[in-house]
Structure formats: structure tokens, C-alpha cells
Amino acid sequence: MHRTLLLGFFGFLGGVLIRSFFDFDLPIFLFLLLIGSSLFVYGALTKNRFSLILTVAVVMFALGALRFHVSDIAPPLFVYERIDKTVTLKGYISAEPDIRETNQRVVVETEYVADVEISTHVLVITERARELSFGEYVEVKGKLSLPEAFETDSGRIFDYPNYLKKDGIFFTISFADVEILESAPTTLLGTLFSLKNTWQKSIERLVPEPGAGLLAGMIVGAKRALGGELLDLFRITGIIHIVVLSGYNITIVAEAVRRVLVRTPRYISLGMSAFFIVLFVLLVGASATAVRAGIMAVIAILSRAINRPYAIVRALLLAGFLMILWNPKILAFDPSFQLSFLATLGLIFITPIFERWLSRIPDRVALRTIIAATLGTQVAVLPWLLYIMGEFSIVSLPVNLLILPTVPLAMLFGFLTGLLGIFSGVVAFPFGVIAHIITFYQLAVVKVFGSLAFASVVIPPFSIVLVVVAYGGIIWWVYKSTQSLKLTIES
């Protein structure tokens, strides 16, 4: 039964993946369903179990392709015909503004385009100085464009159009003139974003930059004050995961709750951890990235708590299936989903192998756990990361060892600084000093290691076949290591 479900899962994923790159007409889906029906009838009449199992794979493949086909909506023709022309559109800001070093980006869900009632999504890039908020009704003027793929520094082609399309965004307007027509109505998400902005401003008053930006990145996934140069150093040193909204940050929140409730029954501890993950995801705006990170964090917490990797894998596959069912475009066009999924598999399967190998290392300040988790996740994501990014950080392990033990403390004192600073700067000041000292140390580590000539190596583009071979080797190694562990336990 489990193998049949697994085959159906991978059949569905295969259908979504193939349809992501090749267009199918309706007759193809009908043909696949006809093949599946024929296999089912043949298997039922002859009691051939293989035919019945194959039926599941074929039907789920067809349903996966059909699910992507249904979601693959073409952009409005009226808007498409106005590409490279100056247009005026009106609509609501439908996501939290993404504030960069020199500009800000907002997604506008249109109501009118050139005075014609049309609903679509446009990525608007405008000056940073203008304060924009989620939910505001705005008028945008500018030259309408289609997003274009571009070549990265490592020679990879980033499919930017499909990356935006996964969120329903088909068009962009750069250097836009934005006018606020109506203030944002009171909504749950709007209130959460407002609270987060108030907290960030409190941090910025009490902690010098770029420490305040680093704290905002670690705690709520905001990177606006770090700047491109510093973010590049975080990427080069392999520590970028602490300043993006990832499962790692959310896991720290849940783990802190679990430690506080360590003497309570396990189901209460796990339940409260999951509750605070949901609360945290809502606090940072419940974006797609936050929801994915939250799901992965819950699964990672459960895997380590109940120590049953195969049960957790079923939960992970179910979560992945539901996420892809909701938005099938994330499978092929969302690197954050792909890497977080692989990293969670690494925590479940590979980290325990390294923990056994490193059993002689004392686990003071969770040193052994950090080393094993870092190695486990890096092995899991490395082939795919090299394929899509082309950059390998040589200093990642020492940088992670030096910084990760300090991240929970930075998050704790940073959170308290921002929270208390809203009410009293005097009360928050000592917490801000501690947070500043910790972030100063973290930034110093990143700058020292990031400035080394050999900090990272750029890998030339290579074939996807090598990725498949690499993951085949990793799966074989994990299987052999797991079998060896079982034999050791049994003996």
C-alpha cells in the first residue's frame, strides 16, 4: 500500500514537472486517462497486481499534468498588447513592499488598466523614499514590460519570468510613478505588517546599522538594511540562511518553546511548538515563503523529537504534495521550495549519520548537533545548489560553527530590544547593547571569512545528468549507512 502511494506521489510530481516545460493539449490528458483505465480493467480481470499499481502511476501523472495545465493561465491579452507602452493602472498593493538598497518593489493587483476593468498582477519598482503599505489603493504610471531571463555571475540562466509567474505576476513596471489614492483598510495581514514595521523601526533606533538589518533579517526575514554587498558576503560564506525567512529561523522559535516546556508531556511540548510556528508565520505576514518554511520547520522538529525518520518522510511528502497541489508552479520554478525540501530530507536522513560519526565530539553549546546538521543539510542541497547557483562556499562549515551558536541569543535579545523599545528606549537599551555586541561579532566573522580569496569557488555550468548521478550516489550512501546502523544496533 505504501509503495502504491509513493508511486502515485512521484507520478503526480512527474506530471507536474513534465507539464512545467512542455505544453499538453486536452486530448493528451484524455489519452493518458484512457491508458490508465485500460490498465485498471486488465489488472482487475487478470488479477495482475503490477497493472493495478501502474494504473495509479499513469492516472496520477495525468492528474499532475492536468493540475499544472489548469493553473497555467495566460496573461490578459489587452494588457499584453500594451507592452513597451506607458500605461496607467489602479489597484491594491497585494503583498508587503520589498524594500531594497536603492528601490522598493510592490505587487499591485489591478482593478483598472488604461481605464479598462482588468484583474492581473504587476510588479512595480519605484523609489525607496516613498512609503507604501500593504492594502493601499494606488495609481501607477510607467512603461509596461515583460520580465526577462538573465545570466547570473556564475553563467547560469535564471528563468525570471517563470519565477514571477508562479505568483501570478506577468508584467513589470520600472521607475514607476506611484500615487496613493486610498489608505489601506484594517485587515489581519495589514495589522501584522504594521506591527512588524513598528518593531523594525524600534530596532533601528536602538541598534546601529548594519546590526539592526541583520537582526531584522534573522527574526522576521527582512533584509532591507543589509545592502547587496553584505548579502553577497553572507552568500559566499554559506550563512545566508540566517538572514532569509527559512525553516532554520522558525525552527529556533519552536525549539525555544520546546525547551521551555521540556518537563511537560511530549504531545503538549510539540503542540505548543507547532502553535508558535503558526503564530510566527502569521506575524511575518503568512507569505508563501513563510508558510513553506513553517511547514518544513514543523516537520524538522517532529523528526528530531520522535526519532522516526520514515514516518516523518511520509509527513514531508504529504506536505510537499499539498503545497504542489495548491501551487504546482513551485516544483520547477521556486528554488526556495526545492532547497528547503532537500534540506529537510538532509536533516532527517543524513544528519543522524554524521551525529553517529561525530559521537566523540562533546555536545556543549550543541556543537556536535550544529556540525552534524550543517553537514547533513549541505550534502543534501549541494548538487542542486551547484547546478542552479554555481557557487561552492569553502568556508561554510567554520563560519556556521562560529555563528550558529550565537543566533538564538541574537534573536532573543533582538526581539526583546525591538519589543521593549516600542514602549521605552531606556528599558530596551541594555538589551540593545547585548544584541549589538552579538551582531558585531557575527558581521566580523562574515567579513573576515568572506574577504578570503578562496572563500568560494565558482563551478562552471554542467549537465542535469550529473545532478541525477550525484543524488543517486547520496541515496545509495544513506541506504548503506542506515543498514550498517541497523546491524550495529541489532548486534
Q: Which of 185, 220, 249 is the last residue of a domain?
A: 185
Residue 482 inside a domain? The answer is yes
The answer to whether residue 190 sits within a structural domain is: no
What pLDDT was estimated at residue 489? 45
Q: What is the mean pLDDT of the chain?
A: 83
Lowest mean pLDDT among 43-57, 186-200, 294-308: 294-308
Q: How far apart are the C-alpha atoms of 116 and 111, rounded to whole Å?
A: 8
Average pLDDT rounded to a whole number, residues 13-22: 92
Domain extent, residue 18, equals: 2-71
CATH number at 143 reads 2.40.50.140
Do 323 and 340 lie in one domain? The reply is yes
Mean pLDDT of 40-57: 75
Question: Is residue 378 located within the same domain as residue 392?
Answer: yes
Give me the pLDDT at residue 439, please.
Answer: 94
Closest Cα to residue 366, out of 409, 396, 395? 409
Asked if residue 263 has pLDDT above 60, the reply is yes
Tally of domains in the chain: 3
Given 16, 47, 71, the domain boundary residue is 71
Residue 134 and residue 279 share a domain: no
| Domain shared by 100 and 67, yes or no | no
Question: Are residue 133 and residue 261 in the same domain, yes or no?
Answer: no
8 found inside a domain: yes
Q: pLDDT tens for residues 354-390? A: 888 887 777 665 677 778 888 888 899 889 989 998 8
Q: How confident is the model at residue 131 (pLDDT cuts 50, 70, 90)?
A: confident
Does 194 fall in a domain?
no
pLDDT band at residue 121 using 50, 70 and 90 as cut-offs: very high
112 and 60 in a common domain: no
Together in a domain, 216 and 152: no
Distance CA 428, CA 420 (A): 5
The whole-angstrom separation of Cα 418 and Cα 424 is 10
Considering the domain architecture, whether residues 374 and 481 belong to the same structural domain is answered as yes
Are 63 and 96 in the same domain?
A: no
273 lies in the same domain as 151: no
Residue 253 and residue 333 in one domain? yes
Q: End of a domain among 124, 154, 185?
A: 185
191 within some domain: no
Asked if residue 351 and residue 291 are part of one domain, the reply reads: yes
Summarize pLDDT for 175-191 with one digit per residue, the tens: 999 999 998 887 777 78
Which is more confidently placed, 90 or 366?
Answer: 90
Is residue 328 a part of any domain in this protein?
A: yes
